[in-house]
Amino acid sequence: ADTEGETPQESATKQFRRDGITAEIATWEETLEFIAGQSGKVVVLDAWSTYCEPCIKEFPNLVALQKQYADQIVCISFNVNYIGLEDTPPESDSDEILDFLSQQKSELHNVISGTADEKFYEATDLGSIPAVFVYGTDGKLKKRFDNAELEFGEEGFTYKQHIIPLIEKMLAENAVK
């Protein structure tokens, strides 16, 4: 690996910054390890792409959710633009991704997937994005929102109608414990 100009800590994780927004390249497995380390907090992971209209439309709601419950939840923006081609590594779309994250003021844990999209879909048994994974305070997956099932109607799931009510219910249950 070419690590010229990098300190040893930086060579393990590639990070990109713009306007105070940071995004890092991480595999799906590394992201699951990060989630496991968020003990005691609800984690919301939004898998999205700059090529996905419904993802882009709902993204501001992920940012708002993190702001509203900053002390109780961790929101992860997991970008799956990377398709696994050798000549287009995960960082190929980093400018476009950072432009979007900066416009959204996404001060979340922003990840550019180092796992090719098809491998991510296989690992999660997911047909396509948008998809939102909600993990409980124990680190276990509580619910996955995707539009494969018609559970959410023709319009698909939304933060307002589906995700936020679940988060509020989970936080209320945690407060009672």
Task: Specify the higher pLDDT residue, 3 or 23.
Answer: 23
Structure confidence at residue 176 (pLDDT): 74
Summarised one tens digit per residue, pLDDT across range 53-104 is 999 999 999 999 999 999 999 999 999 999 999 899 999 999 999 999 999 9
Average pLDDT of the residues of the chain:
89
Task: Specify the higher pLDDT residue, 151 or 52.
Answer: 52
Provide the 3-class DSSP secondary structure of residue 137: coil
Structure confidence at residue 85 (pLDDT): 92
Identify whether the C-beta of residue 72 lies closer than 8 Å to the C-beta of residue 170: no
Helical ranges in the chain per DSSP H: 8-12, 28-36, 53-68, 94-103, 117-124, 164-176
- Asked whether residue 3 carries a pLDDT value surpassing 90, the answer given is no
- Asked whether residue 2 carries a pLDDT value surpassing 50, the answer given is no
Among candidates 58, 60, 78, 66, which has minimal Cα distance to 41? 66
